[in-house]
């Protein structure tokens, strides 16, 4: 009277799992090339700029202060922002080294 019920095999489920894994790997590759790699490149450029920093360079700090490097230390740099006015900032706060003569052209 009652017939036995048997489970059926899954219909194409093996392919979907592989596609999901491939999609996740592809997303990680895209994130690496669009976000992580450029940030590492900028960080390396900033580090080399700080290593090449020397007395007399004209710089812009992270706070937007323009000045000339008057003293160098291991962790701190003294920046002359006006005659007889010096400010000590962390070396990492130096954002950009300006071309020579930029401060004179701005002050004129």
| Residue 73 confidence (pLDDT) | 92
The percent of residues in the chain predicted with pLDDT above 70, rounded, is 89
pLDDT at 10 over 70: no
| Dist. CA 103–CA 67, nearest whole Å | 7
Q: What is the pLDDT of residue 12?
A: 55
pLDDT, position 102: 87
pLDDT value at position 106? 84
Question: Is residue 13 pLDDT above 60, yes or no?
Answer: no
Region class of 87: left (phi > 0), else alpha (psi between -120 and 50), else beta: beta
Q: What are the backbone angles phi and psi of residue 57, rounded to the nearest 5°? A: -70, 145
| 32 CA to centre of own chain | 13
Question: Whole-model pTM?
Answer: 0.70
Q: Which fold has domain 55-108?
A: SH3 type barrels. (2.30.30)
């Amino acid at each position: 009277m009652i017939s036995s019920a048997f489970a059926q095999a899954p219909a194409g489920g093996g392919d979907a799992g592989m596609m999901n894994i491939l999609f996740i790997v592809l997303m990680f590759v895209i994130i690496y090339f669009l976000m992580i790699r450029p940030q590492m490149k900028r960080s390396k450029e900033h580090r080399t700029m700080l290593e090449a920093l020397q007395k007399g360079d004209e710089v812009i700090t992270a706070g937007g202060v323009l000045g000339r490097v008057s003293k160098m230390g291991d962790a701190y740099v003294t920046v002359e922002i006006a005659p007889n006015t010096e400010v000590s900032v962390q070396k990492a706060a130096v954002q950009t080294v300006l071309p020579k003569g930029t401060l004179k052209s701005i002050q004129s």
